[in-house]
Structure 1
Amino acid sequence: MESALPYLVASGCIAVAFLVLRADPLRDFPGPFLARWSPLWMIYHSQNGDMHRTMIDLHERYGPVVRTGPKELSISDSGAVKLIYGAGSKFRKSDWYSVWQGQRKFDLFAERDESIHRAQRRLMSNIYSMDTLKKLEPYVDEVLKVLFSRLSALGSEPVNMGLWAQLFAFDVVGEVTFSRRFGFLDVGKDDGSFGQIDIALKSAAWIGQVPWLFGLHDSLSPLIGNWLGIGARHGSLRKIAADEIEKRKERGSDHHDILQMLMDVHREKPQEMNDMAVLSMATSNIFAGSDTTAISIGAVLYNLCKYPDCKAKLMAEIDPIVQMSRVDHVVSLAATEKMPYLQACIHEALRLHPAVGMSLPRVVPPGGMETSGKYIPAGTVVGTNPWVLHRNKNIFGNDADVFRPERWLGEDRGALERFFFAFGAGSRVCIGRNLGWIEISKLVPSLLLRFDIQLADGQTPLKENCWWFVKQKGLHMTLRPKET
């Protein structure tokens, strides 16, 4: 009898596993074995910083729907993507975003209640519109002049353009939000803010897979203190924003910056936009306004260097337009709008290297959904990874892995733009995208006019770390000043 006991236990375990498997509504969806039973698979790759590339490989292996967790699927099917993220979608953001929001009541990125989000976005839409942000262009110009002056002083040694792009983007955030650059360009380094942001990103990426743990930690933090890096978004970075707000109020400003616009809304609608909401928006500008823009600038410059024919074609477009507009310092936004190939290069670079490298998770609403001939029940978390979607050959063609800006100049551009997820999609598209686009559109041609840029090492593949944002590592370039 004793010798039969192990077999009975094993048989019982197999029977239980079989019953659990039969009751699993997602059992027919393929994916990594561990992901079927535990969030540990997602936690591992979120911490490891390789989620973007891993998901591309999984979709190539398993197809348009991949199981990534006990109750989570990754989807690249174009029809399902439109259903999940399209206009009027009933798919709300998942609890993964609760980690980003914390106790904040005003958070356009993380807010999961659609009615609250709509009300908050209405308050902000005019401030972050392209027409409004164009009025801040002279202040972006001033930061660009500082950047070019510093780059010119560095000589012929390779420079880390990923770092300088982030220093530039961070100083732009300071100038347009608080009427004061942070001064990072002047000294060629930050004050520790970049590290705080990186810690918060890496922490939120993995703990978002187990949001209950964040809730437990949050409730115990008065006793145990902060042990999670995401606390920087709710703590130290928020304090930086609060300090900048107070300094801005004390010194005043000679131009209508974003903070002034936020305070105007607060004054007009104090019940809807209180002091904490102003602080939250200012913090969001600091937290997200530099990384995404710097990553995008790096992506454009890297691909132009990797594809010199495209760089030459872009210069052929830039030169005559600049000569006609007699630009002395930086290329105007109006001039960049007459450069279709420049805009195509930006679209293509952000297609191949979108800033976000993880799924944008949503919850299937009551009634469920169907995709690829299979039913997905309500409550399942589904999402699309921009890196996967942007390489979908059914959408972007068989050369989807290749940098080819011309694809954005064809008649099917509108169809491609519907699946351009570099800034998110639908009603939840990034509200700061217009400011980022202004910075990229102006910096790239202005830089190319002043410098002949080359990769310091064109043979070594660029390293990437994906902790929500996919940051380039070692984007070193040589910049030789051109004769003027």
Structure 2
Amino acid sequence: MALTDTRLDTLKESVPRNLHIIPIVIILFYVLYQRFLSPLAKVPGPFWASLSRLWITKHSWDGDIHRIMIELHKKHGALVRTGPNEVSVAELSAIKKIYGAGTKFQKSDWYSVWQGHRKFDLFAERNESIHGLQRRLVSRAYAMESLKDLEAYVDDAIYVFMNRMDERQNRSVDIGNWVQLFAFDIIGEITFSKRFGFMDVGADDGAFAQIEGALRSAAWIGQVPWLYWLHDFTMPLIGNRLGITARHGSLRNFAMREIEARKDRGTDRKDILSKLFAVHKEKPTEFDDNAVVSMASSNIFAGSDTTAISTRAIIYYLLKNPQYKQRLVQEIDDMRRRGRISDPVSLEEANNMPYLQAVMYEALRCHPAVGMSLPRVVPSTGVEIDGHYIPGGTTIGVNPWVVHRNVEVFGDDVDSFNPERWLKQDTGDMHRFFFAFGSGARMCLGRNISWMEMSKLIPMLFMHYDLQLVDREAVWTENCWWFVIQRGVVVTLQRRNIANA
């Protein structure tokens, strides 16, 4: 009996000692599976990315994912594994398959943190049927034919911008900040018939920091969306700890106040809000008050940053490459001498300026506003890309920065700013794979408005001013938190004598 008790005691002691082996075995099996047995095991990529979401989360936090992905695709080719269940795609033939009309590839959970509890959200809605219905309701307000109603409001903002530049001649000017003040004021003008007044005082009211905080927050926490929803559940206890909630909170509340004020004062102007009100009146069930607020707040959140980023890129690359700046100025002066350009420049005139359009395309090719993959979920049937079978449920996506540096499409000098590539006879593939506003059915709804703003402002700026970088050797900084935000475009500007130009 004593011997039996001793054996039992020994057994009881050995079991706890062996328990620590179990998690080691589980971890070892997980690593072996991901590296050698997973359907994605043969897709190359960073070692740690194959094992954990921490790799892509870290780079999303650091703000360098746009540059990292360019280098990884150069090293590994068309497919790069960026997570245990995620692949970045640079295969051109796959773009239409993933993003084309009627696609079965739905947006991933990364977008859920942008949508939160909102029912109407064109950007983040993952159900393609719902998105299609919502887009059809509002697309007319953003269509090309609506631009003629909005162009005069852009002209008003341009007058204010030019006056502010006049006041700052021969001084160092952070033109990057000023074009954001301009873009934000225009959003107020074309959406609410009310400029925010940022250009008047030369500063914003904290909105820029809120938007940037929301972008940075969403960029990384979207990689681990369960953490966002845990925060959402516990927020009544712990309070708000995430910047992304500004998209659903303070910015949305601002839009609500402006909409209510607009109802009180009314207007006969044909701005975007009037068009949204018309949809609401026609279809109040499908497009209710919350939908109106959602669209207005989305204009504020996305409409200013994307245009400002793109405008900064145009100015920066022109000033870094004075030979191309000079050619643009020559086109502007030539059109002015022939009486084919107005002051301010009209959209129709800008569209008939081939070099201006080439400059804009090239700047947005070199620096598309979005620097992260546009993630989609492979349908249950799976898909074959570049000879690899990608199973259903895998997250895949295309990064605009990677596509825009495809040598087969854009030439061997893809890392150089060269507007003249867009003046060649055959630019079909370049336009086909121009990814600055997304692709397919989910292409950016506000692209026409953004293009109009830039088409009008850039020729006005270079027609009336000689711009120079304060430090011609300085390189701007880039932070990719979904949008790739730049800093460091500081210039001096002086009025040109256009009468003698």
Number of the residue aligned with 2:168: 154
1:245 to 2:245 alignment = no
Match of 2:239 in 1: 225
Matches within 5 A, 1:98-177: 98-177=112-191
- Equivalent residue, structure 2, for 1:360: 374
Q: Deviations over 1:431-472 (max 9, x none)?
A: 000110000000000000110011111212211111110011
Question: Cα gap change, 1:14/1:255 in structure 2, threshold over 3 Å: closer, same or farther?
Answer: closer
Name 2:346's counterpart in structure 1. Answer: 332
2:393 partner SS: coil
- Residue 74, structure 1, aligned to residue 88, structure 2: yes
Correspondence for 2:394 among 380, 388, 399: 380
Which one has the largest radius of gyration?
Answer: 2
Alignment of 1:198-347 (within 5 A): 198-325=212-339, 329-347=343-361
2:152 partner letter? P
Gap change, CA 1:351 and 1:126, over 3 Å in 2: same
Q: CA RMSD in A?
A: 2.0
Deviations 1:106-145 (A, max 9, x none): 1110000000000011011111001112221111001000
TM-score (normalised: structure 2)? 0.93
**Cα deviation per residue 1:184-210 (whole Å; 9 max; x = unaligned)?**
000000000001000000000000001
**What's the secondary structure of 2:485's corresponding residue?**
strand
Aligned equivalents of 2:236 and 2:307: distance in 1?
A: 36
Offset at residue 410 of structure 1 (A):
2.1
In the alignment, structure 1 residue 37 sits paired with structure 2 residue 51: yes
- Structure 1 residues 324-333 or 137-146, which shifts more? 324-333
* TM-fit CA distance, 1:14: 4.8
The unaligned stretches of length 5 or more in structure 2 are 1-13
Partner of 1:419: 433
- Larger deviation, residues 20-29 vs 362-371: 20-29
Match of 1:434 in 2: 448
Q: 1:16 to 1:186 in 2, by over 3 A?
A: closer
Query: Is the CA contact (8 Å cut-off) linking 2:363 and 2:417 kept in structure 1?
Result: yes
Tell me the CA shift for residue 314 of structure 1.
Answer: 1.3
User: Which secondary structure does the structure 2 equivalent of 1:370 belong to?
Assistant: strand
> Residue 343 of structure 1: SS of its match in structure 2?
helix
1:246, 1:17 → 2: CA distance? Answer: 56
Cα drift, residue 19 of structure 1: 4.6
What is the aligned partner in structure 1 of residue 483 from structure 2?
A: 469
- Counterparts of 2:26 and 2:245, CA distance in 1: 44
Q: Would the aligned equivalents of 2:64 and 2:479 in 1 still touch at CA under 8 Å? A: yes
Deviations 1:305-347 (A, max 9, x none): 1111111111222122233447563111111111011111100
* Pick aligned residue for 1:407 from 399, 405, 421: 421
Deviation at 1:217, TM superposition (A): 1.5
CA distance in 2, matches of 1:68, 1:39: 8
Q: Percent identity?
A: 57
Indicate conservation of the 8 Å contact 2:34/2:51, yes or no: no
Aligned residue type for 2:92 = S
Instruction: Provide the C-alpha distance between the structure 1 equivalents of 2:124 and 2:176, rounded to a whole number of angstroms.
Output: 27
Q: Deviations over 1:134-192 (max 9, x none)?
A: 22111100100000000110121121111000000000000111111000000000000
Distance 1:40 1:66, change over 3 A: same
Q: Does the aligned pair in 2 maintain the 1:145–1:329 contact within 8 Å?
A: no
- The whole-number CA distance in structure 1 between the counterparts of 2:173 and 2:357 is 25
Deviation at 1:253, TM superposition (A): 2.0
Letter aligned with residue 377 of structure 2? V
**In the alignment, residue 146 of structure 1 is paired with which amino acid?**
V
